[in-house]
Amino acid sequence: MTRFDELYWEMLRRIMEKGVRDMNARTKHETTALPGLHFSLDIEKDGFPLLTLRKIPIKMFVAEQIWFISGARRPADFLRDFTKIWDSFTNPADVVTVAYGYRWRKHFGRDQLGALVRLLKKDPSSRHGVVVTWDPGEDGLGGTRRANVPCPYSFTANIIGGRLHLHNIVRSNDMVLGFPADVAGFALLQCILAQKLGVVPGVYSHSISNAHVYDNQLDAVNELLKRGNDHAPIRLALPKNTFDRAEKKDKKLVDEIVGPLAAQYQPLPAITGMHIVL
């Protein structure tokens, strides 16, 4: 297995063996959950963290991340041409009010992502490279009710030893459907930022406050825990000027990123019949 497959397999095993079963009042589903799960993976050494224990749609997380970088919040603006993953979270005006990229670039009255790039270009030793998605004036704590609040709610980017490292902080992760896409998407963001800054990607870290499996996913998890393969590490090759082209919502960019990944990707079969819990 790839290093990421090994890490993922071990996290699922821990949840199934040591997780606590509780009924979630909002979703009306039972979860098996553990607090404080964390992993780190060196992208330069171990390869890009794309799950191969089951097939996942590469185009989905690539298009999603480009949409985030652009700062858009309407799926009709670029994203829906590739995936409908955010359609369940739109309001009557077809707007995702908590779209991550919009929060990174516009919501708080400053362009956090743009400022991050400028900061690390000017001072690669800075430890202030924090980007926040969570709005304490609106999100959580029994506040404004909406279809979605950010799960990955903050990340920190640091250049150490000439490599860009990214630490993603996640309040809640569906380990079967959400986690693999979140990891691949934010690792892609790390690689795009590294290219923009003229450095190589280093360690991707992912910390989860509540890592859980839903009751309707138990058969899928049992199947995943039976699986293993000898897939080679996956290497990401980005087109030139990926960050700048993503800002412009260049539709050709999706296939230019997906193509080299798909050429290396030989996953085990998809697991069908899984449904996301909203």
Amino acid at 69: I
**Tokens matching residue 1:** 């297995």
Residue indicated by tokens 């992208």: 43
> 36 — alpha (psi -120 to 50), left (phi > 0) or beta?
left
The crossing angle, in degrees rounded to 10, of helices 58-70 and 178-197 is 50
Q: 3-state class of 62 per DSSP?
A: helix
Report phi then psi at 270, rounded to 5: -65, 155
DSSP label at 86?
T
Annotated active-site residue in 151, 188, 224, 253: 151
DSSP label at 108?
T
**231: closest CA among 210, 261, 211, 274?**
261
Q: Is 191 a catalytic residue?
A: no
Residues sharing a CB contact under 8 Å with residue 263, sequence separation 6 or more, in sequence order: none
C-beta of residue 173 within 8 angstroms of C-beta of residue 189: no
Cα separation, 188 vs 182, whole angstroms: 10
C-beta of residue 48 within 8 angstroms of C-beta of residue 58: no
- Which residues have a catalytic role annotated? 151
